[in-house]
Amino acid sequence: MPDDLIIREADRTVAKSAPLVDPFARAISYLRVSVTDRCDFRCVYCMSEDMTFLPKAEILTLEEIERLCGAFVDLGVRKLRLTGGEPLARRNIMSLVRGLGRHLSTGHLDELTLTTNGSQLARYAQELRDAGMRRINVSLDTLDPEKFTAITRWGKLDKVLDGIEAAKAAGLAIKINAVALKDINIDELDGMVAWCGERGFDMTIIEVMPMGDVGEQRTDQYYPLSMVRAQLARRWTLDESDHRTGGPARYVTVRETGARLGFITPMTHNFCESCNRVRLTCTGMLYMCLGQEDAADLRAPLRQSSDDGALRDAIRDAIARKPKGHDFVIDRRRQAISVPRHMSVTGG
Ligand code: SAM
Ligand code: SF4
């Protein structure tokens, strides 16, 4: 092994001797990375039609994102999820995926995964698998082509379904994410549970979160998952599951299909006590909580030196500020947006 690699390995060992633990004794082992805030869709619950995106000059290069992720891996992060915006819409994204995949080969990372709208999956599915990805999440709120275009404004259902097929054929396990949208797709969720079951896909249903101004009232979109679950329970036997990911989802197994079904209910339940994750934006801001505004700038220490010491210190300082929980409220009277940042900045 060359000398610089030996030093780097030794450096990793030292860094790992003190893993990231926040003030509430939660070990931080999961990093979500928004590689771009841009997207080829404009989903009605996520973005307004005329979004203003971050200035290109502020966006980290893919090499910088890779280095940042490497610093988190050095500090004990075991799982990375690429998200956005639409991660597969970022030019040259596969060079980052391949670079990060190397941490899987060395055993420093357990999982590299992705959340995507599926529009580019047909093109990238096999390459993702070849780079070491084994599971992906695909967002799909409806199986009706017209509704699909109404929800995403710019998307075509056929293209996404082709992408999902390609991912399945490439051997990627798939989880479908569907946001429950009042008066739009609630009556379809039952059929989607069947569709996922037939194809061997897990599914997660998500409550709308009040993030960013999307030009619509949140109370017009919000539908509580307690009601979705009660509706689904009329047709399906939902067996409680103890599967946990450290995130907001609570899981059941659908007895008739054997598939896992998750419910992400940030508005109705508190899931923060087991939170194991932090989120990095494409400009290098680290958000310690999806539902809070506090963030740490990691771009400055990243660019300050080619040595990762200052960067690691900045990461540790940020983790020391991770709050106990989120601040989401959908208030019928005030109609307030609880978090002004759009989901596409931190990637959900
Ligand atoms: N573009 C990719 C996609 O759609 O999968 C990745 C980024 S997207 C922001 C990540 C997830 O956040 C998607 O499953 C999307 O449905 C969800 N999402 C976006 N805005 C949301 C909101 N306001 N409330 C709840 N979920 C939201
Ligand atoms: Fe794009 Fe995903 Fe947001 Fe839809 S949910 S607009 S696909 S980032």
Euclidean distance between CA atoms 34 and 298, whole angstroms: 14
- Strand pairing category for 260-264 and 135-139: unpaired
Atom of ligand 2 nearest to the CA of 155: 7
Q: CA of 102: how far to CAs of 154, 269, 331, 338, in Å? A: 35, 37, 45, 39
Which range among 10-19, 108-117, 281-290 shows the weakest confidence by mean pLDDT?
Answer: 10-19
Residue 336 pLDDT more than 60? no
Cβ of residue 47 lying under 6 Å from some atom of ligand 2: yes
Cβ of residue 35 lying under 6 Å from some atom of ligand 2: no
pLDDT for 332 equals: 46
Euclidean distance between CA atoms 258 and 220, whole angstroms: 33
49 Cα: distance to centroid of ligand 2 (angstroms): 12
Residue 36 pLDDT more than 70? yes
85 Cα: distance to centroid of ligand 2 (angstroms): 6
pLDDT for 214 equals: 80
Tell me which ligand sits closest to the C-alpha of residue 114: 1
pLDDT classification of 216: cutoffs 50, 70, 90: confident
Cβ of residue 347 lying under 6 Å from some atom of ligand 1: yes
177 Cα: distance to centroid of ligand 1 (angstroms): 8
160 vs 344: which has the higher pLDDT: 160
pLDDT for 8 equals: 53
- Model pTM above 0.85: yes
pLDDT for 327 equals: 66
Per-domain boundaries in the chain: 3-346
Residue 334 pLDDT more than 80? no
Report the chain's mean pLDDT, rounded to a whole number.
Answer: 90
Which range among 27-36, 72-81, 322-331 shows the weakest confidence by mean pLDDT?
Answer: 322-331
pLDDT for 29 equals: 96
Mean pLDDT of 99-126: 98
Closest CA to 30 of 107, 105, 87, 109: 109
pLDDT for 333 equals: 47
Please give the single-letter amino acid code of residue 70. G
Euclidean distance between CA atoms 34 and 236, whole angstroms: 35
Atom of ligand 1 nearest to the CA of 344: 9
pLDDT above 90: percentage of residues in the chain: 74
For tokens 């995403």, name the residue.
Answer: 152
Closest CA to 16 of 99, 73, 100, 101: 73
Cβ of residue 276 lying under 6 Å from some atom of ligand 2: no
Ligand 1 pocket test: which of 40, 42, 46 has the largest number of ligand atoms within 8 Å of its C-beta? 46
158 Cα: distance to centroid of ligand 1 (angstroms): 19
Contact 100, 51 (CB under 8 A): no
Residue 201 pLDDT more than 70? yes
Cβ of residue 34 lying under 6 Å from some atom of ligand 1: no
181 Cα: distance to centroid of ligand 2 (angstroms): 14
41 Cα: distance to centroid of ligand 1 (angstroms): 11
For tokens 């993030």, name the residue.
Answer: 211
Q: Is the dihedral of CA 147, 150, 151, 157 positive or negative?
A: positive
pLDDT in tens, 227-265: 999 999 999 999 999 888 777 788 999 999 999 999 998
Cβ of residue 117 lying under 6 Å from some atom of ligand 2: yes
Ligand 2 pocket test: which of 32, 47, 119, 214 has the largest number of ligand atoms within 8 Å of its C-beta? 47
Contact 28, 20 (CB under 8 A): yes
pLDDT for 212 equals: 78
Which range among 83-87, 145-149, 168-172, 334-338 shows the weakest confidence by mean pLDDT?
Answer: 334-338
**What is the three-class DSSP state of 260?**
strand
Q: Whose CA is closest to atom 25 on ligand 1? A: 208
pLDDT for 17 equals: 54
Return the C-alpha torsion angle 219, 333, 224, 139, nearest 10: 40
Cβ of residue 348 lying under 6 Å from some atom of ligand 2: no
224 Cα: distance to centroid of ligand 1 (angstroms): 17
347 vs 179: which has the higher pLDDT: 179
Mean pLDDT of 53-77: 96
Which range among 66-70, 153-157, 190-194, 286-290 shows the weakest confidence by mean pLDDT?
Answer: 286-290
Mean pLDDT of 149-158: 97
Which residues, other chains included, contact 136 with Cβ-Cβ below 8 Å and sequence gap of 6+?
113, 114, 115, 116, 121, 128, 167, 172, 173, 174, 175
pLDDT for 328 equals: 61
We find that the CATH architecture of domain 3-346 is Alpha-Beta Barrel (3.20)
40 Cα: distance to centroid of ligand 2 (angstroms): 8
Cβ of residue 43 lying under 6 Å from some atom of ligand 2: yes
Please give the single-letter amino acid code of residue 183. D
pLDDT classification of 210: cutoffs 50, 70, 90: confident
DSSP category for residue 209: -
85 Cα: distance to centroid of ligand 1 (angstroms): 8
CA atoms within 13 A on the CB side of 342: 25
Q: Whose CA is closest to atom 17 on ligand 1? A: 348
pLDDT classification of 19: cutoffs 50, 70, 90: confident
- Strand pairing category for 135-139 and 30-34: unpaired
Closest CA to 345 of 89, 37, 32: 37
pLDDT for 70 equals: 97
